[in-house]
Amino acid sequence: MEPFNIRNITIDPPLVLSPMAGVTDYTFRRLIKRRGGVGLVVSEFISVEGLTRHNPKSKRQMRFDEDERPYAVQIFGGKPDRMAMGAEMAEEVGADILDVNCGCPAPKVVKNGGGSGLLREPKLLESILKEIKKAITIPLTLKLRTGYTEASINVVDVAKMAEQCGVEHIQVHGRTREQGYKGLANWEIIRQVKEAVSIPVSGNGDITSIEYGMRKWRESGVDGILIGRGAMQNPWIFRQFADVLAGREPYQPDVAEKKAVLLEFFGLCREEMPEIVSLGKMKQLAGQFTKGLVGGAQFRQTLYHSHSAQEILDNIDIYFETLSQRATFGDGEVESDADIEMTSCDAPVLPTIEPPGRLSAGV
């Protein structure tokens, strides 16, 4: 498990923060990058329809910090000319890599021919990739699901076609579009993709522990690993992987550091966004971050019911004070994770006040 190259860009360590719409924005990416161990970060997926019509939100989504490099912009859409224009815009703002989304299952994306809809139309995808290659000089990469349905798994053929078009890194989330986020990612198919092409292949799906990640990595033989939801639960997961790869004991943050990370994230959000949006963002992260913490469910409820920044800060103080005294918060149970799944590439940014029992746009 060595660093790998996407043309002349070294991905070291070979660990990628998987793109997540509504999550991996400028703020979250920097939070993760500062924890260490991330070889590549990717923007949220960005609509080329928005970009090429100069929608300010789409343009803002491309923004990044020099410290984030190497940095990939991910675009989605179904029209070759628009995709090429969007790709060119990403190169112009200084992205190191252009990534095409071929995995999002959200109906509104698929309906317009983008995301995982492209798996049903390999010819259209081929045209898109060829047009993009003509428009940019930075490396082009692709993020795929395994197929549209269980009956039409075609990722190996699509990956071979993409290699012929000049794609320089294939990333496979081991589920079909039909599967959404159900069941487990199929790493056997990821292994087949790795064997079928000679460009680097990275695998993705369900990596939330070092042990599982290392096992899937070894079994599939991939060059790199993408981690999405696991990074919200544990922002140190990349550093812990990097430690293990370097033969060290994985880093373990203490309670004080966990508190500091929540406060850091909230601070970054408040610098960037209106208060109401930063409250929503905080609730979103806390929903995942508190998984498995003692009294985490109760803590989450106090955050969901916080209506101001001060209330959030007070509740964080109270919770971590209780933990540091080894006292019981709420019923003191470590709750089950079932109610806090996060399952969409279409997740809204949450300016909500009331608790979203689960973060899902229902795709």
Ligand X SMILES: Cc1cc2nc3c(=O)[nH]c(=O)nc-3n(C[C@H](O)[C@H](O)[C@H](O)COP(=O)(O)O)c2cc1C
Contact between residue 160 and residue 112 where contact means Cβ atoms under 8 Å apart: no
Burial class (CB in 10 A: 0-12, 13-18, 19+), 23: buried
Query: Binding to ligand X (CB under 6 A): which residues in 131-150?
Result: 143
Examine residue 70 and say whether the peptide bond preceding it is cis (omega within 30 degrees of 0): yes
269 is catalytic: no
Interface characters, 60-89, with ligand X (x: CB under 6 A): --------------x---------------
**Shorter beta-carbon distance to ligand X: residue 309 or 361:** 361
Identify the residue among 132, 156, 344, 363 touching ligand X (CB under 6 A): 344
User: Is 229 one of the binding residues for ligand X (CB under 6 A)?
Assistant: yes
Shortest distance in whole angstroms from residue 290 CB to ligand X: 17
- C-alpha–C-alpha distance, residues 33 and 56, integer Å: 25
Identify the residue among 6, 11, 16, 23 touching ligand X (CB under 6 A): 23
Cα 173 to the chain's mean position, in Å?
A: 11
User: Is 343 one of the binding residues for ligand X (CB under 6 A)?
Assistant: yes
Range in contact with ligand X (rule: CB under 6 A) among 148-156, 186-194, 256-264, 342-350: 342-350
- C-alpha–C-alpha distance, residues 337 and 57, integer Å: 33
Identify the residue among 114, 205, 213, 224 touching ligand X (CB under 6 A): 205
> Amino acid letter at 112?
N
Q: Which of 104, 165, 269, 345 is catalytic?
A: 104
**Shorter beta-carbon distance to ligand X: residue 52 or 344:** 344
Exposed e or buried b for every residue in 31-66, given b needs 16+ CB within 10 A?
A: bbbebebbbbbbbbbbbbbbbbeeeeebeebbebee
- C-alpha–C-alpha distance, residues 175 and 177, integer Å: 7
Shortest distance in whole angstroms from residue 144 CB to ligand X: 9
Cα 223 to the chain's mean position, in Å?
A: 18
Beta bridge partners of 143: 101, 171
User: Is 17 one of the binding residues for ligand X (CB under 6 A)?
Assistant: no
Identify the residue among 168, 206, 243, 335 touching ligand X (CB under 6 A): 206
Identify the residue among 62, 87, 104, 261 touching ligand X (CB under 6 A): 104
Task: Please give the residue whose beta carbon sits closest to ligand X in the complex.
Answer: 228
Shortest distance in whole angstroms from residue 343 CB to ligand X: 6
The DSSP result for 91-110, as a single string, is HHHT-SEEEEEE----HHHH
User: Is 44 one of the binding residues for ligand X (CB under 6 A)?
Assistant: yes
Contact between residue 91 and residue 98 where contact means Cβ atoms under 8 Å apart: yes
Q: Site residues (CB under 6 A) for ligand X? A: 18-23, 44-45, 74, 101, 103-104, 143, 173, 204-207, 227-230, 342-345, 347
Q: Which residues are catalytic?
A: 104
